[in-house]
């Protein structure tokens, strides 16, 4: 059966400029990645900061071109010259990024933000536009009173909902969520995750959920791919068994999650010599005046 999204051997290099310390060189940020995503499912991309997750997301969103590889959306090659700017295909992919405040125009009201994709892709009368924005806000559990407000006049959680409304405005099949809930406090994070799950069930949406946070990925994803230094180092089909992640890069992030109970925290005996020395050095600086000297 044909997958909704399939990418094969995607690679992308960036040229790092020459500095005093190092000559210019080409760095492979995404290295030969192949993955599949089925309709109505969520694929989680997990990895530490700088592992290339966002670059991969931007390639799939069509914001960036890979050096090589194939990107198939419902069997259509998105990288073919004729399809690159094809609005009919592109409208099926919605986007949402971590920092909602920087991904919206501060001079736009909530209504303008949600209406933007509708104005870009569809011809609607003014009355119809208002109605559709109202409906979209209702879907994300926001009242229509918010329509005249500016981003700085609403809370972070509300703005996140506005961005979800914008992302689903054109009824896309796929939404790319790049660290979409990472900047929110835990309570709002949970509310937004529940909303995403509800929307997925209601509209059969597929998500590409990019995050460095294993807990949020575990809640939403059906399958997890771990990225490290531009490569997929392991995949996990059963998200209820996160403890089975075995690659050192996965373990590092997994072990850094604080347990619910303080008693479950790492004991000193669990640290190796290098870790212990580092802890001692940090402690020394914190409890001596050296820190003040270092900062000033
Ligand atoms: N436009 C760019 N030009 C040069 N280097 C880039 C660019 N975008 C990302 N990088 C580099 O690529 C690496 C991966 O970045 P990114 O995809 O943002 O990782 P992640 O989202 O996993 O934190 C980083 O080392 C980053 O500095
Ligand atoms: Mg990123």
pLDDT tens per residue, range 120-145: 988 889 999 999 999 999 999 999 99
The alpha carbon of 29 and the centre of ligand 1 are apart by a number of angstroms equal to: 7
Each residue's pLDDT tens digit, 181-234: 888 888 888 999 999 999 999 999 999 999 998 889 989 999 999 999 999 999
Indicate the length of the chain as a whole number: 296
Residue 49: CB within 6 Å of ligand 1? Answer: yes
Q: Is 254 helix (H, G, I), strand (E, B) or coil?
A: helix
Query: Among 119-123, 173-177, 192-196, 282-286, where is mean pLDDT lowest?
Result: 282-286
Residue 29: CB within 6 Å of ligand 1? Answer: yes
Mutate-to-test residue for ligand 1 from 50, 63, 98, 226, highest number of ligand atoms within 8 A of CB: 50
- Which letter, b or e, does each residue of 85-109 get, where b requires 16 or more Cβ atoms within 10 Å of its Cβ? eeeebbbbbbbbbbebeebbeeeeb
Is the confidence at residue 15, as pLDDT, over 50? yes
Distance CA 97, CA 182 (A): 10
The alpha carbon of 12 and the centre of ligand 2 are apart by a number of angstroms equal to: 15
Mutate-to-test residue for ligand 1 from 52, 53, 178, highest number of ligand atoms within 8 A of CB: 52
Closest Cα to residue 145, out of 155, 136, 160, 134? 134
Q: Which residue has its alpha carbon closest to ligand 1 atom 9? A: 55
Residue 31: CB within 6 Å of ligand 1? Answer: no
Each residue's pLDDT tens digit, 49-104: 999 999 999 999 888 999 999 999 999 888 887 777 677 888 899 998 878 888 89
Neighbours of ion ligand 2 (CB under 5 A): 54
pTM exceeds 0.85:
no
Query: For residue 88, what pLDDT is reported?
Result: 80
Q: Looking at residues 155-183, what average pLDDT do you find?
A: 92
Q: Looking at residues 157-181, what average pLDDT do you find?
A: 93
Written as six digits, the tokens of 263 are 């008693």
CA distances 39 to 205, 210, 283, Å, are: 7, 17, 50
Confidence grade of residue 293 (pLDDT, cut at 50, 70, 90): very low
Query: For residue 251, what pLDDT is reported?
Result: 83
Ligand nearest to the CA of 27: 1
Q: Which residue has its alpha carbon closest to ligand 1 atom 27? A: 50
Query: For residue 81, what pLDDT is reported?
Result: 79
Distance CA 254, CA 243 (A): 8
Ligand nearest to the CA of 179: 2
């Amino acid at each position: 059966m044909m997958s909704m999204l399939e990418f094969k051997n995607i690679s992308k290099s960036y040229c790092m400029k020459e500095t005093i310390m190092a000559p210019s060189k080409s760095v492979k940020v995404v290295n030969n990645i192949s993955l599949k995503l089925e309709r109505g499912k969520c694929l989680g991309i997990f990895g530490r900061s700088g592992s290339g997750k966002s670059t991969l997301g931007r390639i799939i969103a069509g914001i960036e071109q890979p050096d090589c590889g194939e990107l198939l959306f419902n069997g259509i090659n998105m990288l073919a010259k004729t399809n690159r700017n094809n609005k009919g295909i592109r409208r099926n992919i919605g986007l949402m990024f971590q920092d909602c405040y920087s991904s919206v125009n501060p001079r736009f009201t909530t209504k303008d933000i949600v209406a933007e994709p509708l104005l870009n892709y569809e011809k609607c009368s003014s009355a119809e536009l208002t109605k559709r924005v109202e409906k979209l806000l209702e879907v994300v559990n926001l009242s229509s009173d918010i329509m005249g407000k500016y981003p700085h006049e609403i809370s972070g959680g509300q703005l996140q909902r506005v961005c979800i409304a914008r992302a689903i405005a054109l009824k896309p099949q796929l939404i790319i969520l790049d660290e979409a809930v990472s900047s929110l406090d835990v309570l709002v994070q949970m509310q937004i995750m529940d909303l995403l799950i509800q929307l997925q069930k209601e509209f059969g949406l597929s998500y590409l959920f990019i995050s460095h946070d294993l807990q949020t990925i575990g809640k939403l994803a059906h399958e997890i791919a771990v990225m490290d230094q531009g490569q997929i180092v392991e995949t996990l089909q059963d998200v209820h068994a996160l403890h089975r992640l075995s690659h050192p890069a996965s373990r590092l992030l997994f072990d850094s999650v604080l347990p619910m109970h303080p008693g479950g925290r790492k004991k000193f005996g669990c640290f190796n010599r290098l870790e212990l020395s580092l802890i001692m050095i940090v402690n020394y600086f914190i409890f001596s005046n050296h820190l003040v000297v270092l900062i000033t």
